[in-house]
Amino acid sequence: MAIDSITLAILKGRLEQIADEMDATLFRSAFNPIIAEAHDASHGIYDAKTGDTLVQGKSGLPIFVGVMAFAVKAVIDKAATQGGLNEGDVWIFNDPYDGGTHLSDFRLVKPIFRDGKVFCFLASVGHWHDVGGNVPGNYNPAATECFQEGMLIPPVKLFDHGVYRTDIVDILSANTRLPLSLYGDLNGQINALDLGEKRMTALLDEYGDATIAECLVDLKARAAELMRARIRELPNGIVSAEDFLDNDGIKDEPLKIAMDLTIEDDHMIMDFSRSSPACAGPVNISRSTTIAACYVALKHIFGEVPANAGVLEPVEFRIDPDSLLSVTAPKPVGGYTETILRLIDIVFQAVAKIAPEPAVACAYGTINALSLAGHRQNGQRWVMFSFFGGGHGAHGGGDGLNHGNAPISTATIPPLEILEAAYPVRFAKWALRQDSGGPGEFRGGLGAVYEIALREEHADVFLFGERGKYPPPGVVGGQPGATNRFAYEQADGEHTPPMVSKMVGIHIERDQTLRLETPGGGGYGKAFARDPQKVANDVRLGYVSAVKAETDFGVVLKADGSVNSMETDKRRSGEDGR
């Protein structure tokens, strides 16, 4: 049957609304600020046979939606070995090698039945606050195997024929420092799936199963065709890009992430064969996570293409099985966020070489996962885990976003008021970082400066970051943003991590501080092509210092902050047009 374009648009909106409502249900009910405030979660609708992404919500993390296609397929395969799927089943797991990301991200998968057959799957994923392991909050930069990162749960039934399995919940609760947080997040995800089933059933009853099934087929086909059309607009050929991780947290040596991008008419090949092999530390990722990261990067560049599995139909992936981009158990993967951010960076850099117009410079490239943990005076355990923002890359239409969240997600940075209310900390500073954005005709967005003081007697601190040695690159002649910097106070003064961006075992006392200075985004185009009035305005706003205005942008300012046109022209004509 053929669906007219108006009906298709209406159904697309209705299906997306189902995913959006599931997102909102979890965000409003989760106990954990990383889900409730930062929205580190996602929901979607998936194919009954392949697990392919059919529909995703607009508020959740796109990286989760991409990986969840593999997670749903893992449930399909596991159920096939146990007699098949049943009405009322809900599966739960966090296996990062089988459709997962890292152990903190728990997935719930629910088949939706119609007339005794699976019509589709609904899936929920959320970042739980603590799932055991050596480090509270689970970002352990010293891990050398997954068992040091937390509990690993393979796909198991949380509900069996609709019956809630309390034995599974008991196992989960026994393996966390924060069982109440786990209880709230788990039940929030269950409620989100229940609401999703109710909304999906109502939609199917209203329009009929055949119409909705045809709509899902059409949406995927249109995404694939539109993606092929966008690839055809690119010139045929091969371009390469590479970037580096600071280290793996174990050995202080850089790790290369490299891609050779081939365009052949309406076909794209993403070849990662030149990337570093699997490493000892926790910056490895699974193959499914690599593919999901590329999905996110391509959606950034080709934003008008509908978000479903059709995006990847014209794309071929070549990933060596011994690469750090394709590991299996028990290789540690806790810091997957840092590696997928670098993957997105090299996709941006490669596309910029063949199509500068849609190109985007690299964002700050690290979530700076920071954990503080200790005991309150009454003996109660507390664990603060949070991630922090930085500058986004500039593009051909304007400057990068100041102090945004990582481009792997639409999550938000947890507000300082929430963090201060929930944990014994005080933010002495939360500000933009001057001169951190990469110079260019369009300037990279600014990073941030955070200073955190402890209000309890003692705490242990753990940092898992990146971009401490290799700054976020610009594109089309733009310059890189500033590198990452972390410092912590001790009785004998300020210290920085030996490995720059990663450290465990930091112990601080009451009123001692931690300071994060996050990277800015890369610039787009040559800095000396930037409008001098924009540079003067950047200086007025405090984004750029007067010294950097002259050295990086070739703009000389008068004492009153206005542009000295004569000296600026002289300065720019004598330089290389940087």
Q: What is the pLDDT of residue 65?
A: 72
Q: What pairs with residue 502 in β-bridges?
A: 464
Q: What is the pLDDT of residue 169?
A: 98
Edge-to-edge strands, sheet with 267-271: 237-245, 255-264, 267-271, 315-318
Whether the predicted pLDDT of 574 surpasses 90? no
Contact (CB, 8 A) for 444 and 394: yes
Count: domains in the chain: 3
Query: Predicted confidence band at 330 (pLDDT cuts at 50, 70, 90)?
Result: very high
Written as six digits, the tokens of 96 are 């990062």
Q: Do 560 and 473 have their domain in common? A: no
Q: Which residues, 6 or more positions from 130, have their beta carbon under 8 angstroms from its beta carbon?
A: 136, 137, 138, 176, 177, 178, 181, 182, 383, 385
pTM for the predicted model, two decimal places = 0.93
Whether the predicted pLDDT of 264 surpasses 60? yes
Q: What is the pLDDT of residue 407?
A: 80
> Is residue 205 a part of any domain in this protein?
yes
Task: Let me know the angle formed at the C-alpha of 420 by 415 and 447, rounded to the nearest 5 degrees.
Answer: 45
Over residues 204-211, the mean pLDDT reads 97
Over residues 157-176, the mean pLDDT reads 98
Contact (CB, 8 A) for 127 and 35: yes
Q: Do 561 and 439 have their domain in common? A: no
Q: Do 447 and 537 have their domain in common? A: no
> Is residue 24 a part of any domain in this protein?
yes
Q: Do 481 and 546 have their domain in common? A: no
Written as six digits, the tokens of 465 are 């970051």
Whether the predicted pLDDT of 409 surpasses 80? no
Query: Predicted confidence band at 1 (pLDDT cuts at 50, 70, 90)?
Result: low
Q: Do 521 and 544 have their domain in common? A: no
**Distances, alpha carbon 253 to alpha carbons 244, 247, 249, in Å:** 10, 5, 9
Whether the predicted pLDDT of 577 surpasses 90? no
Q: Do 418 and 548 have their domain in common? A: no
* Distance from C-alpha of 57 to C-alpha of 46, rounded to nearest angstrom: 12
Q: Do 492 and 541 have their domain in common? A: no
**Distances, alpha carbon 492 to alpha carbons 425, 488, 564, in Å:** 21, 11, 46
Rounded to whole angstroms, the maximal C-alpha distance in the chain is: 80
Q: What is the pLDDT of residue 426?
A: 98
Q: What is the pLDDT of residue 445?
A: 98
Q: Do 466 and 567 have their domain in common? A: no
Q: Where are the beta strands (DSSP E) in 165-254?
A: 237-245
Q: What is the pLDDT of residue 63?
A: 81
Q: Which of 223, 240, 270 is the last residue of a domain?
A: 223
> Is residue 423 a part of any domain in this protein?
yes
Q: What is the pLDDT of residue 301?
A: 87
Q: What is the pLDDT of residue 575?
A: 57
> Is residue 285 a part of any domain in this protein?
no
Tell me if residue 490 falls in helix, strand or coil: strand
Which tens digit of pLDDT belongs to each residue from 217-227?
Answer: 999 999 999 99
Which tens digit of pLDDT belongs to each residue from 537-559?
Answer: 999 999 999 999 999 999 999 99
Contact (CB, 8 A) for 387 and 415: no
Q: Do 546 and 431 have their domain in common? A: no
Question: Shortest CA distance to 186 belongs to which of 322, 90, 320?
Answer: 90
Which tens digit of pLDDT belongs to each residue from 479-495?
Answer: 999 999 999 999 999 99
Average of per-residue pLDDT values in the chain: 95
Q: Do 538 and 421 have their domain in common? A: no
Q: Where are the beta strands (DSSP E) in 226-279?
A: 237-245, 255-264, 267-271
Alpha-carbon dihedral sign for residues 444, 445, 451, 452? negative
Q: Do 56 and 180 have their domain in common? A: yes
Q: Which of 167, 190, 223 is the last residue of a domain?
A: 223
Q: How buried is residue 529: exposed, middle or buried, by Cβ count under 10 Å (0-12/13-18/19+)?
A: middle
- Number of Cβ within 10 Å of residue 416's Cβ equals 16
> Is residue 30 a part of any domain in this protein?
yes
Q: What type of residue is 530? A: R
- Number of Cβ within 10 Å of residue 198's Cβ equals 12
* Distance from C-alpha of 121 to C-alpha of 175, rounded to nearest angstrom: 28
> Is residue 453 a part of any domain in this protein?
yes
Written as six digits, the tokens of 488 are 């912590």
* Distance from C-alpha of 23 to C-alpha of 176, rounded to nearest angstrom: 24
> Is residue 183 a part of any domain in this protein?
yes
Written as six digits, the tokens of 262 are 């081939």
Written as six digits, the tokens of 237 are 């050929």
What are the counts of helices (DSSP H) followed by strands (DSSP E) for the chain?
A: 12, 20
Over residues 141-163, the mean pLDDT reads 97
Q: What is the pLDDT of residue 345?
A: 95
Q: Which of 525, 544, 560 is the last residue of a domain?
A: 525
**Distances, alpha carbon 391 to alpha carbons 13, 200, 341, 547, in Å:** 32, 39, 13, 21
> Is residue 186 a part of any domain in this protein?
yes
Which tens digit of pLDDT belongs to each residue from 244-255?
Answer: 999 999 999 999
Instruction: Provide the residue range defining the domain that includes 540.
Output: 532-573
Q: Which helix (H) or strand (E) covers residue 426, if one does? A: strand 425-432
Q: Which of 37-41, 168-172, 343-347, 421-425 shows the lowest mean pLDDT across its residues?
A: 37-41
Q: Do 371 and 483 have their domain in common? A: yes
